[in-house]
Amino acid sequence: MDRRVDRGQATRQHLIEVATELFADRGYEGTSIEAVLERAGVSRGSLYHHFPGKERLFEAVVEAVHTRVGEATLAAATASGATEAHGLLKAAELAWIRLAGDAVVRRILLIDAPTVLGWRRWRAIEEQYGLGMLKTVLQEAADAGRVPAQLVEPFAHILLAAGNEMALVIALADDVAAAQTTAEAAVEEFLNRMLQPTESENTET
Amino acid sequence: MDRRVDRGQATRQHLIEVATELFADRGYEGTSIEAVLERAGVSRGSLYHHFPGKERLFEAVVEAVHTRVGEATLAAATASGATEAHGLLKAAELAWIRLAGDAVVRRILLIDAPTVLGWRRWRAIEEQYGLGMLKTVLQEAADAGRVPAQLVEPFAHILLAAGNEMALVIALADDVAAAQTTAEAAVEEFLNRMLQPTESENTET
DNA sequence: CTATAAACCGACTATCGGTTTGTCAACGGG
DNA sequence: CCCGTTGACAAACCGATAGTCGGTTTATAG
């Protein structure tokens, strides 16, 4: 094996860690490559050797954070012991809301990522993590007749958006504890309503 | 009166219009002040005389667009002839979704604004327009016993987020027409569920 | 006519993302 | 053991861009 490559990977990893801190703290635009280089103690050439540009460095950071969050959320859902859709979703959403209290997750994933990576690429990544899981669980709910089958896709988007919004509201509330309590109650009721058996009628205009 | 001031306001307005086009087309970062100056036929000094910086120019654009959209949405809701919460919300959400098909609205309001202005300021503006209206209507629904009173606030956020998400999904879908149809059905069902009379029980784990 | 101030102009600066050229040390075939 | 190759890193440099600043024009007031 090549010791040079190991050293390179260590540098790369180190850059991602440093960049994660700075991006979370100052945002993407507010973070200069210069600042990353200085704090990481790495030269320009080295950084550009590992990443084709600032945007790709950011993308690497996003993926790293997303992976961490995805694992944690999945673990929480599993740990809840729930097996049916409602329980799983509740556990996952609440876990997600708590994770989003972290400035790293909030700023990088919720605020900057869609703009920097562009909505399409951002959504592709989401698909791979949160949205994919939501769809799976919702499909299960659809099979149980709790959600119209053709609405699985849009409902998954709505659940995702609602979770993100709740996370942001909590994170930036004046009284975080109170907001947390309220939001959890709201999520609970929201999921109850979204997963109710569809005996619904047409409320035509 | 002073004709100079009129001229100044005209210049200011013209800058906002030109900037709106460019921001919508190329995004905030992709739009240079230089480009705005050139297309507007205005000098640097003049622009900086009217706006303290690029960000404040963007903010002026955001407010202008938001005002337009707010008026249009309100008009659609009124025109629907609905008087109760469900009808009003449905009309407003559908109108909003259609408006968000416009690249100006989508790129400026949905994509760039939260990042450029920061989530807090962005939310303050939203509060003044869309979110404020949603809360009012939801409060009405709460009075009719269709929504728990203490959940009016979080539900308003969820409705807002869901509407924005649907708008984005449609705008960037491969088959826009199909996505539009699906999304409208989803919004319809979503609102039905969110505004159902709360005879609900505790679905404890 | 003169003083004043709003509107406007354009050269200049600092910063920042990205490029290019170059150095060095580790690897591996002969 | 030698030497060409390759990965990692270094640093001078470039173009673009947001923002600044002293100066000029122009219309109004006294």
Q: What is the mean pLDDT of residues B132-158?
A: 95
- Average pLDDT of A13-36? 96
Mean pLDDT across chain B, nearest whole number? 91
Residue A12's nearest CA partner among A57, A66, A54 is: A57
Footprint of strand D on the protein (CB under 7 A): A 2, 4-5, 7-9, 11, 42-46, 48-50; B 2-4, 31-34, 44-45, 48, 52-55
Answer yes or no: do A203 and B86 touch at CB < 8 A: yes
CB of B66 closer than 8 Å to CB of B100: no
Residue B129 confidence class, pLDDT cut points 50, 70, 90? confident
pLDDT > 90 in chain A, percent: 80
Find the length of chain A. 205
The pTM score is 0.89
CB atoms B203 and A194 under 8 Å = no
- Candidate from A86, A112, A165 with C-beta closest to B157: A165
Average pLDDT over residues A59-72: 95
Round to whole Å and give the CA distance between A92 and A78: 9
Enumerate the H helices of chain B as residue ranges: 3-26, 33-40, 44-50, 54-79, 85-99, 103, 113-117, 119-126, 132-143, 152-171, 176-194
Instruction: Give the model's confidence band at A29: pLDDT under 50 very low, under 70 low, under 90 confident, else very high.
Output: very high
Residue A172 has pLDDT above 90, yes or no: no
pLDDT digits (tens, 9 = 90+) for B79-111: 999 999 999 999 999 999 989 889 899 999 999
Asked if the C-beta of A154 comes within 8 angstroms of chain B's C-beta atoms, the answer is yes
Q: What is the pLDDT of residue B7?
A: 78
**Least reliable range by pLDDT among A17-21, B7-11, B119-123:** B7-11
User: What does the H/E/C string look like for A44-68?
Assistant: HHHHHHHCCCHHHHHHHHHHHHHHH
User: Is A27 close to B148, i.e. CB distance below 8 A?
Assistant: no
In the structure, how far is the CA atom of residue A3 from the C1' atom of nucleotide D1, in angstroms?
22
| B42: nearest nucleotide, CA–C1' criterion | C8
Residues in A 93-132 with any Cβ partner in B closer than 8 A: 111-112, 114-115, 119-120, 123
Confidence of residue A204 (pLDDT cuts 50, 70, 90): very low
- Closest to A130 measured CA to CA, from A154, A83, A163: A163
CA of B3 to C1' of D30 (A): 19
Q: Give the CA A123 to C1' C18 distance in Å.
A: 28
Nucleotide nearest to B52 (CA to C1'): D19
Q: What is the mean pLDDT of residues A98-103?
A: 87
Of B86, B172, B190, the CB nearest to A158: B190
